[in-house]
Structure 1
Amino acid sequence: MEAAGGDESMDVQGEAAEPIFSGHRQTSVKPVWTSLEEAAQMKTEGNVFYKEKNFRSAIGRYHRALLVLRGLDSDVMASVKGFAPEIPALTPEQEALLRNTQVDCYNNLAACLLQRQSVDYSRVRDYSLRVLQWRPGDVKALYRAGVATLEMGDAQTAKQYLTQACREQPNDANVRKQLQRAEEKLSRDLQKERAMYRGMFSPSPKSSSEEGIYQTHRASEGVLASQLSPPNEASN
């Protein structure tokens, strides 16, 4: 499943860290709509960079958008209460725009990470799971969480994500391909486990060898005994 240009997002370790509130209270706050529109514009710029395959610049834009939105997120601000200015309660429309922009940015960050030569699958999974917290049925997030989890070695959990994604988009070839990969890995792991248990309970080569030596020794004793016994008397 390829990233869709307008909805993709990206995130990279070491680039544009998330904001940390210090003990100093900020002196001013932008109007809510101004911040929301600023974040949406940054996301749009990131989408343009993504389409141009300029993933580094796209990552920067998506990160900046998330930094702006962080100051409006009531869940985040609750943890820094007393260290940051109070924000007014968002209207339902503002709350929807906030979440939709966050979802798009995290989705697109995961997509960008998957385009890098060295993929940080842990981050891909984490950002996809953030999306799924807000939008449980998001197919892109389910797909990327499945791919990342599979690459990290957990085929069972990966199968759960990819099975759900396949239910949502049964005709998507990429989803079906990754689901097949997960199922094949589970099958291989099961075969290895069965082989291991067979090896634990089957006779070891050493035991078979010792039994053969014992039988040979017993046969040798029989031959020697027959040679030492007196010959039978001839019958009349």
Structure 2
Amino acid sequence: MEAAGGEENPDALGAAAAADPGFSGHRQTTAKPVWALLEEAAQMKTEGNAFYREKNIRSAIGRYHRALLILRGLDSDVMSPVKGFGPQAPALTPEQQSLLRSTQVDCYNNLAACLLQRQNVDYARVQEYSLRVLQWQPGNVKALYRAGLATLEMGDAQTAKQYLTQACREQPNDANVRKHLQRAEEKLNRELQKEKAMYRGMFSSGVKSSSTEGVNQTNRAGEGCSLTAQPAK
């Protein structure tokens, strides 16, 4: 069965879980041991992957959101801003912390991939999820590629080029990365040519205006001379 609220932002859901002791996700976090919650989140991710392969994007998104919601209650970086609003995140072993972060990375990456499959792509959300991954794994190629693609579609070719250049450095033979990097470079080149044309137009207009003014001043000076040269009556 598909998760209710599958289209919700996991940040909003996590805030509700942290602030409201009656929230079902919060009760779940406090009632189960850490390993059980990590395994449950991993299972949600696995189910999401299966839905994604079946091209059931909505159900895949729902599973990934559920996994992230479970993990938020275990993430001390998330729970620390809401101290005093219920139990704090439990202390995790290095192995548990590694599994927590890797599952979060996979879910955010997979959510971005899901959104790119939709007819009307929310590029701002794709960018948000990809940048979240890059906070934890700056060299994650999938996140670099999707951040670059989303940023390019949002109109910032310069920043997109930075993401895509780094992705291309990591995977130089990836055709999609190279294609969108070329798009970013072409867009920047068009913008540069447009800017140059604008400055040429401004310069030529200024020169023309100065030349016309000089001619008018010369004509006025000539008229003055001819008047003074006329014989007195």
The TM tier, using the shorter chain, reads: 0.7 to 0.9
Q: Secondary structure at the match of 1:18?
A: helix
- Moved >3 Å (runs of 4+): 11-17, 23-29
1:101 corresponds to: 103
Q: Secondary structure at the match of 2:44?
A: helix
Contact 1:12 1:113 in 2 (8 A): no
Alignment counterpart, residue 19 of structure 2, candidates 17, 22, 34: 22
Q: Secondary structure at the match of 2:87?
A: coil
Contact 1:147 1:158 in 2 (8 A): yes
Contact 1:166 1:175 in 2 (8 A): yes
1:3 corresponds to: none
Cα deviation, residue 69, structure 1:
0.1
Cα deviation, residue 77, structure 1:
1.1
1:69 corresponds to: 71
The count of corresponding residues between Structure 1 and Structure 2 is 214
Q: Which residue identity lines up with residue 18 of structure 1 in the other structure?
A: L
Question: Which has the higher Rg, Structure 1 or Structure 2?
Answer: 1
Deviations 1:63-97 (A, max 9, x none): 00000000000011111212121343100000000
Contact 2:108 2:132 in 1 (8 A): yes
Contact 2:80 2:88 in 1 (8 A): no
Deviations 1:132-183 (A, max 9, x none): 0001100000000000000011000000000000000001111000100000
- Stretches of structure 2 lacking an aligned partner (at least 5 in a row): 224-233
Alignment counterpart, residue 47 of structure 2, candidates 23, 45, 48: 45
**Aligned Cα RMSD in Å?**
3.0
Distance across 1 between alignment mates of 2:145 and 2:106:
15
Distance across 2 between alignment mates of 1:24 and 1:203:
68
Cα deviation, residue 110, structure 1:
0.3
1:175 corresponds to: 177
| 1:80-99 matches, cutoff 5 A | 80-99=82-101
1:164 corresponds to: 166
Q: Which residue identity lines up with residue 60 of structure 2 in the other structure?
A: A
Which has a greater percent of helix?
A: 2
Deviations 1:42-68 (A, max 9, x none): 000000000000000000000000000
1:114 corresponds to: 116
Q: How has the CA–CA distance of structure 1 residues 67 and 60 changed in structure 2, closer, same or farther, with 3 Å as cutoff? A: same
Distance across 2 between alignment mates of 1:12 and 1:57:
7
Distance across 1 between alignment mates of 2:115 and 2:173:
25
- Identify the range of structure 1 (16-25 vs 148-157) with the bigger mean alpha-carbon deviation: 16-25
Q: Which residue identity lines up with residue 157 of structure 1 in the other structure?
A: T
Contact 1:12 1:109 in 2 (8 A): no
2:190 corresponds to: 188
Q: Which residue identity lines up with residue 110 of structure 2 in the other structure?
A: N
1:34 corresponds to: 36
Q: Which residue identity lines up with residue 122 of structure 2 in the other structure?
A: D
Q: Which residue identity lines up with residue 153 of structure 2 in the other structure?
A: E
Distance across 2 between alignment mates of 1:77 and 1:92:
18
Cα deviation, residue 14, structure 1:
3.9
Q: How has the CA–CA distance of structure 1 residues 88 and 207 changed in structure 2, closer, same or farther, with 3 Å as cutoff? A: closer
The alignment status of 1:144 with 2:146, answered yes or no, reads: yes
Q: Secondary structure at the match of 1:203?
A: helix
- Stretches of structure 1 lacking an aligned partner (at least 5 in a row): 1-10, 222-236
